[in-house]
Structure 1
Amino acid sequence: MGSSLPEAFVTKMERLLGTEFPAFLASYEDTRWYGLRVNTLKCSVPEFQGMTSLKLDPIPWASTGYYYREEDRPGKHPYYHAGLYYIQEPSAMAPVELLDVRPGERVLDLCAAPGGKSTQIAAKLAGEGVLVTNDIHPDRVKALVKNIELSGARNAVILNERPERLEEAFQGFFDKILIDAPCSGEGMFRKEEEMAKSWQPAWVDRYAGMQRDLLKQGAAMLRPGGRLVYSTCTFSPEENELMIAEFLGAHPEFQVVPVLMRHGFQPGNPSWVDITEVSSMQAAAAAQQLQGAARLWPHQLSGEGHFVAVLEHRIGRAAPSKQSVFPSLMTAASGGKDKAKSRSKERYGWERGLTRRQPVLDLQPFYEFMRQMAPGVPVDSISLHGEHIYVTPQGLPDLSGIRVIRPGWYMGSLKKQRFEPAHALAMGLRLQETSRFISLSSDDPAVVRYLKGETLEMPEERVQLANGMEKKKGYCLVGVDGYPIGWGKWLDGMLKNDYPPGWRWT
């Protein structure tokens, strides 16, 4: 591919890399690396290793990441549709690993679509705390929603908002923030040849302006002592070392946490930027901090090009004095419609904070469904958007005026006094939590037929009951080798398919 790289890009990289340039250029003739990450919200790494026939080799910088062979095509396996893993470029796994997410924390993924890093964060939260995942582009948010739902995350809020608006709502709120910034994409040229063909030198300056704003906005939303990881998939110093030098100069309360240089990681290069022009710090101190950032080069490791800087807030700043939670119509699973009416007589609209008065919906069909089908699953902190029901994470600030796409785990909708469970509810459950389910084997042709949306013949003995459930008729959670893939309705030996059309096997 080296001969098809943009001439201006080649000239720039030769100037930057000097004696390393021949090895860098030669890496573009190598085969790209393919990776997947086990979703530990669904299964443990040992469990997955015991189930899969894929030939996997560990990615050294990602605890749940593995290289796979291109010909194995893991996207064409039922386990992919069960959300047991996410297909992700190996180097792209590094930023979240360096974010050091712990269960129970409040975490923001500011530029999240299509959602790979958000699902990685969700797995590290292990169902505790809250993940706020945002992207400014409406079309890209659709992929973000799908990947969050596929992962089975129950504690994720999905936004489609400009970062400056989030800055107002989330002042000092988050423990950890990831800014995987839009960039000129130079590190992805081997993976995406079309990007190399369309690249223009002017992209560097265009994206640098966005990155500068994102860092400023992210800093305002981080709590004192919190951690912010800034990453790009480009090589340009203007978008990497220069960004960090500028940020440190303007925000002396932050410092770089040095990345351990192993697995082929290389230090940032302060000689590529004029530190004295962009920073009020002493040049030597600034240079030392920039060397603590990490560069992932395709000729130094088995992955594509990335830059990562870990920034820590080290000076106290006053926390927000008021943090109201999402408005909700129900705060406990028990109590049904009477308690719902006593809590509020308003329906809260999530887009642009719209609030319109209307009669409160009767939530009893939803509670009855959950009581029968998943009696042990907590459904407190209920929020409504029209007829749609969500379980929202606790302790969020008031998001009036913010464009909220998913205010939490999507349960389903109420239509004509009937509750219709959402695919997101199925993907967030475990088979052992449900009272009526059908578990298929991954080598059963019926799995692919189900994923294609077909109605299946299903003998009565295949319907399994638990938790005192007596009726086999009705909604069943369908799974593959014990892991949910969607809903179906069973009646008289037939399973009517409820798999979403937009998700179907093609």
Structure 2
Amino acid sequence: MAVQLPALFIERMRGLLGTEFDAFMTAYDAVPHTGIRVNTLKISVEDFMRISPFELRPVPWCPSGFYVPYGSKPGLHPYYHAGLYYIQEPSAMAPVELLGIQPGDRVLDLCAAPGGKSTQIAAKLQGSGVLVTNDIHAERTKALAKNIELYGVRNAVVLNETPERIAEAFPHYFNKILIDAPCSGEGMFRKDEDMARQWETHSVEKCTVMQRDILSMASRLLAPDGVIVYSTCTFAPEENEEMIAEFLKVNDGFRVVSITDRPGFSPGRPEWIPSKKRYPDVEQLAGTGRLWPHRIEGEGHFAAVLHWEREPGQQNTSDQTLCVSERSVREEAGSHGRIKAERHKGGRKQAGDSRRSGRAGEVSTAAEVLASFAAGQLTLQLPGQTVAYGDRIYQAPLDPDRLNGLKVIRPGWFVGTVKNGRFNPSHPLATALHRNDSVRSIVLNGSSPESVRYLKGETLLIEEDRVQLAEGASPKGYALICIDGYASGWGKWQDGMLKNEYPAGWRWTSV
């Protein structure tokens, strides 16, 4: 067997699975499955299937998900750098599908890094509503923010906060909450052998403390008639069915919505809960779901859908607080200066419905230079409120006053910076645009070395007739660079030469 599994884990699974144990163990001899999920913010599933450089097989539980052959290396293609798909383990695509997200929803992804599920949520929102995506680990929010930006998300706020502080700022605000909970990771042993080696130190007991705290805060964040999806990538019933049983016991008005009719899911196992008599109506836990690696093409997952059926104004019987001290959580998460947004109303293209607060003149200048750039460069109305954080300009999807006192990584769509009264468009502004959103664009062939040269930051020679222009625009200036028509970054065109604006930290580094 390629994966060295902990002996205690094997012993427990033998006792739980009985006659299925041999099939379960045999699954560890198979190679992990590779999946990609089409980013429908940029391209439809149908259009991607027409241009896909890979052989695709549908993932049964995710309409935008596909298996690709093992060894395909989807990260080494220009389409990946254009944000057309996210590389994601197939089972990990399931929890967001259970949320039932609709455009206009207010969604919280509470344990979000590195951001795969957040980008999946954003694709379902299709630019409307709001996504607040959070991770408690400061270092991990770097990857989270980058993925939000690469995949063209316009309506997300990125936080680095404890669930408790978010609950203080957003009481009963979100109608959909995803908790992809920190867990012992048993379902990922085949995919990541480090998890198997760290299993005894990253114990089930430690994880249940964190999971209990996170769920208790989620009940304070959820709006009436809202839905929580709780998921783990572990098999331990203490982290799964028993965790949900505890939650239901102390939170009146919640019920489990059965997911056992969903493709790939096997019923939950309430009979595995020790001391079942402690919990009322324990049989409804059979409506939770498990993805087993010996039954599907994917790794091990658990998921539960919790619907709050209370009327507005009713309170939960439990007001639990974090068992982990706030001080220790903050030390683990790291420190960021707390920042207050400065806002301003105005600007052609209506770069926002914003109001002013903060240092006089600074915010006004930011809004004016953004509006001037938008008037000359863009063909769309920028959504949200224009907010200034120092020299960085964002379009915020919600009132920035809600973020006061929180550790904010991104208050919204980062559109550019202002320096010496001049607006410099950001790379995330480009990645969230469509080709016709810019008055000037240049299309590179995804199968040509030219596109890789652009992604490596090289200067390109581009003839004038390749610069596609809106009516009345001149070819000189910022051009939206598109790979096979899909926005990938900026360049500055002048006299047959394209000065590359692709940022150094994003560049293609493979040979």
TM-score by length of 2: 0.91
Amino acid at match of 2:343: L
2:242 and 2:43 mapped to 1: Cα distance?
A: 41
CA distance in 2, matches of 1:319, 1:404: 30
The offset of 1:177, in angstroms, is 0.1
Whole-Å separation in 1 of the counterparts to 2:156 and 2:201: 37
Q: Is contact 2:379–2:437 with CA below 8 Å preserved after alignment? A: yes
What is the aligned partner in structure 1 of residue 343 from structure 2? 329
Shift of 1:378: 2.5
Task: Tell me which moved more, 388-397 or 154-163.
Answer: 388-397
* Contact persistence 1:24–1:298 (CA under 8 A): yes
Which residue of structure 1 aligns with residue 500 of structure 2? Answer: 497
Q: Report the 3-state secondary structure (helix = DSSP H, G, I; strand = E; otherwise coil) of the residue aligned with 1:4.
A: coil
Q: Is 2:258–2:305's contact at 8 Å kept on the other side of the alignment? A: yes
Paired with 1:87 and 1:319, the residues of 2 have a C-alpha distance of 42
Query: Quick one: distance in 1 between partners of 2:393 and 2:362?
Result: 15
Letter in 1 for 2:282: A
Alignment check: 8 A CA contact 1:36 1:86 kept: yes
Aligned residues: 483
Query: Residues of 1 paired with 2:266 and 2:349: CA distance?
Result: 58
1:68-467 aligned at under 5 Å gives the runs 68-200=68-200, 203-276=203-276, 278-279=278-279, 281=280, 285-287=281-283, 289-318=284-313, 329-334=343-348, 343-347=355-359, 359-363=362-366, 364-394=368-398, 398-467=402-471
Matched, 1:472 2:468: no
Q: Distance in 1 between matches of 2:146 and 2:8?
A: 38
What is the CA-CA distance between 1:202 and the residue it aligns to?
A: 5.9
Q: Deviations over 1:340-373 (max 9, x none)?
A: 8xx53515xxxxxxxxx77445132221111111
Structure 1 counterpart of 2:392, which letter? H
Please list the CA deviations of residues 391-427 of structure 1 after superposition, one character each: whole Å capped at 9, or x if unmatched: 1114576221001111111110001111111111001
Task: Summarize the Cα distance change of 1:418–1:205 in structure 2 as closer, same or farther, 3 Å threshold.
Answer: same
CA distance in 1, matches of 2:350, 2:204: 56
Unmatched runs of 5 consecutive residues or more in structure 2: 316-339
> How far is 1:173 from its partner?
0.1
Match of 2:336 in 1: none
Mapped contact 1:114–1:140 kept (Cα < 8 A): yes
Report the TM-score, using the length of structure 1 for normalisation.
0.92
Superposed displacement of residue 140, structure 1: 0.5
Equivalent residues of 2:257, 2:306 under 8 A apart: yes
* 2:15 counterpart of 1:15: yes
Task: Give the deviation of 1:70 after TM superposition.
Answer: 2.3
Contact 1:128/1:155, CA 8 A, preserved across alignment: yes
CA deviations over 1:307-339 (Å, ceiling 9, x no partner): 00000001124299xxxxx965234433999x9
CA RMSD for the aligned pairs? Answer: 2.0
Question: Which residue of structure 1 lines up, in the alignment, with residue 38 of structure 2?
Answer: 38
Please report how far the alpha carbon of residue 89 of structure 1 lies from its aligned counterpart in structure 2 after TM superposition: 0.4
Counterpart of 2:489 in structure 1 is: 486
Matched residue SS, 2:75: helix
Distance 1:103 1:415 in 2: 36
> How far apart in 2 are the matches of 1:365 and 1:384?
12
Sequence identity percentage:
53
Letter aligned with residue 381 of structure 1: Q
Alpha-carbon shift at residue 126 of structure 1 (Å): 0.8
- 8 Å contact from structure 1 (residues 331, 380) kept in 2: no
Q: Is the 8 A contact 1:245 1:278 kept in 2?
A: no
- 1:387: how far off? 0.9
- Conserved in 1, the CA contact under 8 Å of 2:349 and 2:374? no
1:398 is paired with a residue of what secondary structure? helix
CA distance in 1: counterparts of 2:158 and 2:100, whole angstroms: 21
Superposed CA deviations along residues 243-263 of structure 1, whole A, max 9, x for unmatched, are: 000000011211000003353
Task: Give CA deviations for 1:103-129 in whole Å, capped at 9, x if unaligned.
Answer: 001000000000000000000001110
Give yes or no for contact 1:377–1:433 (8 Å, CA) kept in 2: no
Q: Deviations over 1:286-313 (max 9, x none)?
A: 22x1100001010011100000000000
Q: Residues 432-473 of structure 1, C-alpha deviation per residue, up to 9 Å, x if partnerless?
A: 11101111111121100010111112222222211421x222
Q: Following the alignment from structure 1 to structure 2, what is the Cα–Cα distance between the partners of residues 447 and 489?
A: 16
- What letter matches 2:62 in structure 1? A
Task: Please say if residues 333 and 380 of structure 1, whose CA atoms lie closer than 8 Å, have aligned partners that are also in contact.
Answer: no
1:335–1:480: structure 2 CA closer, same or farther, 3 Å change rule? closer
Instruction: Report the CA distance between 1:274 and its aligned residue.
Output: 2.9
Which moves more between the two structures, 311-320 or 201-210? 311-320
Other structure's SS at 2:294 match:
coil
Contact 2:478 2:490 in 1 (8 A): yes
2:318 paired residue number: none
Report the 3-state secondary structure (helix = DSSP H, G, I; strand = E; otherwise coil) of the residue aligned with 1:76.
coil
The alignment partner of 1:290 has SS state of helix
Give the letter for the 2:293 counterpart.
Answer: P
